[in-house]
Amino acid sequence: MVCILKPSEYYGLYLNGTIRITDELVNKDGGLKFTLDVDGFPNYLQGNKIGIAVHENGDISKGCQNIGGHYNPHKAKFHGSNMSSLKEKHLGDMGNMFVKDGKSTSVIYNRDMRLFGSFGISGRSIRLGSYEDDEGKGDQNSKIDGNLYEPWGCCQITTKDSASKCSSLPASFVVMLLFGGILVVIVSVL
């Protein structure tokens, strides 16, 4: 699976990149590996953490406004950390990515998510918040979304077929290759 980032209308004017999502044996039941290759962050974010979460809907057409809340099929009451139990977090809570020199090449593992099935994330969206995810340890808003505020950008989690038809990248093309179960995405702006 792949997620091709689209900048938000708020902050992410120069943000671009991809998030590759692969099945990974994080625990005995499976899990997912998220490999980020994102650039275009401003220099003042040097060394900062940026919250990241899977959201309910995959509609990224209006600058991340239609993606809904954090994906929460288990109806957890509060936001939590990536490592919290499902009773203590939304399934979509992923924690933080790290920014250095305007880029993030973070790798995030999630033991609870799956690509497909009853609680699959295919077709949903990923959102990069504007601040560090405080993992629900702050004020009342923290217990809803970790105080992520307006997004830098978002993307729809898609298969290689639907990503190749991506209309959010005008004047560009996407080439995707499958190597040993890992989807590699090459984006070229014309």
**Domains in the chain and their CATH numbers?**
2-189 (2.60.40.200)
pTM for the structure as a whole: 0.80
Q: What pLDDT does residue 148 have?
A: 72
When pLDDT is averaged across residues 25-46 and rounded to a whole number, the result is 86
When pLDDT is averaged across residues 36-61 and rounded to a whole number, the result is 91
Res. 100: pLDDT tops 80:
yes
Matching residue, tokens 């090449």: 105
Measure the CA–CA gap between 24 and 55, rounded to whole angstroms. Answer: 21
76-80, 130-134, 158-162, range with greatest mean pLDDT:
76-80
When pLDDT is averaged across residues 164-175 and rounded to a whole number, the result is 42
For residue 186, give every residue at least 6 positions away whose Cβ sits within 8 Å of its Cβ, in sequence order, or none. Answer: 174, 175, 176, 177
Res. 73: pLDDT tops 50:
yes
3 state DSSP class of 11: coil
3 state DSSP class of 51: strand
Q: What pLDDT does residue 33 have?
A: 95
Res. 56: pLDDT tops 90:
yes
